Structure 1
Amino acid sequence: MGSIEALITQFFSQLDWVNPWAFVLLPLPIAMRLMPAYRERRDAVRVPFFARLLDATESRPQRGAMLLIRRRGQKVLITLIWLSLVLAAAKPQWLGDPIEQQKAGRDLMIAVDLSGSMETEDFSQPNGEPTDRLTAVKAVLQQLVDERAGDRLGLIVFGNSAYLQSPFTEDHPTWLMLLNETRIRMAGPSTALGDAVGLAIKLFKDAETEHRVLLLLTDGNDTGSLVPPVDAARVAATERIRIYPIAVGDPTASGEEAIDLDTLARMAEVTGGQSFEALSSEDLASVFKLLDTLEPNIFDSVNFRPRTDVHWLPLAAVIMLYVLLRFLARLGALYRPGAPQ
């Protein structure tokens, strides 16, 4: 008995009802039986030999309606049909086994400087050949993406202004393709650092993830943003965004190509992040390895049970029961006493 009860319990635990209110219709036939019977007046034919007709048929005259008496089998079938209709109206769904799915747990926006100074060839490739700063950044970012399977990535490029190159996505190959399509000066020759942070804040507001990180790669100082970089960082802090600025290139440069390390450090401080300097490809790789310890991968687990509509089963039962009811009614009419053979 215990195993049978367990099976029954398991069966009903895997059923869910989209319209459970439909079960209030179950006692409707009982309520209908409590109502007075429907009576219909019909015209009658007077015959002068009515008394003889009663004697011949051995009947007794009476007033009222003639009630058709259903057999027990018909009552059972009609009850089952009504029960099946109510079950179909409740729209049962079969719940599958729980499935655990992991999704990105952090939104990581990467802002890349495309100003003219990024073409300076003071980085080196693995074979020792010199390369420009943007190419070195792209190479190291590709390694970063391979290790950030738990993050949704976005991409902002900035020069005279900041532009969205890729919204937040878990499609990392597409993100890398959009990164590789970037070119130096495609956003203008200057460095709108504060505007890049402002655009990131706007995009983070539409994101649902609580863990928000902005990775800022630049090789120059701000040259005319609408919002000063530190002020933009303060707004980012109110939105729970941590900023990690990475100064790429020679910190001893002067003029517009000079890197404002103090401003970058202040931006990191007010948001709870950390600033870095990278003078070579090796330094960039080391910075990203350190970032892995500061911002480890986060996965959010989502549990759900697949649902399959099974309301067609009681509907199929209604059709089969109705066909059986009609068959039994026809069969009873053929074998009723006095019926023509």
Structure 2
Amino acid sequence: MFKEIEFANPQFFWLFLVVPILIGWYVWRRKQQTAALKISSVKGFKVTGSVLAKVRPLLLVLRLLALSLFIVAMARPQTSDVTAKTKTIKGIDIVMAIDVSSSMLAQDLKPNRLNALKKVAIDFVDERPNDRIGLVVYGGESFTKTPITSDQAIVKRALKEVKYGLVNDGTAIGSGLAMAVNRLKDSKAKSKVIILLTDGVKTSGSIEPLDAAELAVAYGIKVYTIGIGSNGVAKTPIALNPDGSFRYGLKKVQIDEELLKTIAERTEGAYFRATSNSSLKKIYDEINKLETTEIKEFKYTNYDEEYRPLVIAGLILLVLEFLLKNTLFKSFI
């Protein structure tokens, strides 16, 4: 409890140095007021003790206690309640551009590339509470799944809804990147970032990826590119069964790493390769560290003055001392 109390005027505690002076003055004064009678013997006198005489110093104790309470009250004891609010000073707008082509159903990441990505991306959103995030999906064409928003619940719900079949099959990297640039070009944020993820090479789309990268440069947008897929071969959809399900077979993993590196280099971003669930998680953690948001914390302190009970208690002690002095101890003073 006492750790929560602060004193606004602690210099008043120096007044406690007066207390021993008052005690010494009281002892000296009592000696001066006490009359002395010298006789040769007290054998002929009946000696009786007086309880009131013995407890008479109680008056001094009451007065000193009252003085002590007043000194503590003048030091202004306070309790404080601190509330903190944070404000984004320089936020970041982020658009995640996600490849949803059939190859994203490859099972070299568990349970497959797309579902592994969705889990990591949702965790990434949770770690960016002060930023706005949007979502673009692309395959043979692209579209905006979610415009940039500060509502994390909307972004996470949109990520959970991402699946194969939202767009025609294919890998239109240029279209996906251009759509993401379009979502960010009018942003006033301190930093504008695109996280472009793909597991293949450009197979469709009318926009060249490097042309889209030049658009990103023109609007001051940084692009982090991620190539997802293990080295070698992976169990990948290769055909459709009569019931509409995919038939899987081993297929060589092909990622246009040179293109992704060039896009990242031109936009002052970085290229990453995710060959497993753990490496994909580390990549998003790394991007999270690279793109930091400036937050300012405002603290508000509410003070409650606690001197009033001390003053009241001191006055009560003075009144009690006055009453005892003028009633019970009147004949001794």
Match for residue 249 of structure 1? 229
> Is the CA contact 1:104–1:170 (under 8 Å) kept in the aligned structure 2?
no
Q: Deviations over 1:177-201 (max 9, x none)?
A: 0111111132121011001111112
Unaligned 5+ runs, structure 2: 1-84, 235-250, 299-333
Structure 2 residue matching 1:112: 3-state secondary structure: strand
Change (3 A) 1:119 1:160: same
- The one of 90, 96, 100 equivalent to 1:114 is 100
SS in structure 1 at match of 2:270: coil
Equivalence for 2:272: 276
SS at match of 2:122: helix
Residue 154 of structure 1 corresponds to which residue in structure 2? 134
Name the counterpart of 1:194: 174
CA distance in structure 1 between the partners assigned to 2:233 and 2:89 by the alignment: 43
Q: Does 1:216 align with 2:196?
A: yes
- Offset, 1:292: 2.1
Counterpart Cα distance in 1 of 2:233 and 2:146? 31
- Given that 1:104 and 1:150 are in contact with CA atoms closer than 8 Å, whether structure 2 keeps it comes out as no
Whether the aligned pair in 1 keeps the contact of 2:232 and 2:253 (CA below 8 Å) is no
Match of residue 285, structure 1, among 265, 270, 281: 281
TM-score, structure 2 length as denominator? Answer: 0.56
**1-side partners of 2:297 and 2:144: how far apart?**
29
- Point out where structure 1 has 5 or more consecutive residues left out of the alignment: 1-98, 125-130, 303-341
Identity %: 32
Tell me: CA distance 1:210–1:258, structure 2 relative to 1, closer, same or farther (3 Å): same
The structure that is strand-richer by fraction is: 2
Runs of 4+ more than 2 Å apart: 99-104, 250-257, 297-302
Q: 1:267 aligns with which of 260, 263, 266?
A: 263
**For 2:165 and 2:296, how far apart are their aligned partners in 1?**
38
Amino acid at match of 1:272: E
Cα distance in 1 for partners of 2:142, 2:252 equals: 18
Match of 1:225, SS? coil
The alignment partner of 2:197 has SS state of strand
Instruction: Choose which of 93, 107, 123 in structure 1 pairs with 2:109.
Output: 123
Q: CA deviation at 1:274?
A: 0.3
When residues 199 and 122 of structure 1 are mapped into structure 2, their CA distance, relative to the original with a 3 A threshold, is same
Checking the alignment, whether the CA contact within 8 Å between 2:171 and 2:200 is kept in structure 1 is yes
Q: Retained in 2: the 8 A contact 1:223–1:256? A: no
From the superposition, tell whether residues 115 and 291 of structure 1 become closer, same or farther in structure 2 (CA, over 3 Å).
same
What code does the residue aligned with 2:215 have? Answer: V
* Distance apart, 1:101 and its partner CA: 4.1
Q: Do the aligned residues in 2 keep the contact of 1:241 with 1:271 (CA within 8 Å)?
A: yes
User: Helix, strand or coil for the counterpart of 1:107?
Assistant: strand
On the 8 A contact 1:107/1:209 being kept in 2, the answer is yes
Q: Which amino acid aligns with 2:254?
A: A
Indicate if the aligned counterparts of 2:231 and 2:253 stay in contact, CA closer than 8 A: no
Q: Deviations over 1:68-101 (max 9, x none)?
A: xxxxxxxxxxxxxxxxxxxxxxxxxxxxxxx974
Aligned to 1:81: none
Residue of structure 2 in register with 1:185 after alignment: 165
Residues 99, 199 of structure 2: 8 Å contact kept: yes
Pick from 125, 136, 158 the counterpart of residue 145 of structure 1: 125
1:207 and 2:203 are equivalent in the alignment:
no
* Alpha-carbon offset, residue 210 of structure 1: 3.3
5 Å matches for 1:22-101? 101=87
The 1-side partners of 2:296 and 2:176 are apart by: 28
* Alignment match, 2:216: 236
Q: Structure 2: how far apart are the matches of 1:205 and 1:223?
A: 26
Is the aligned partner of 1:296 residue 2:292? yes
Alpha-carbon distance in structure 1 between the residues aligned to 2:216 and 2:296: 23
Contact 1:151 1:298 in 2 (8 A): no
In structure 2, what residue type is equivalent to 1:159? G
State whether residues 150 and 298 of structure 1, in contact with CA within 8 Å, keep that contact through their aligned partners in structure 2: no
Deviation at 1:208, TM superposition (A): 2.0
CA distance 1:189–1:293, change in 2 (3 Å): same
8 Å CA contact 2:101, 2:170 repeated in 1? yes
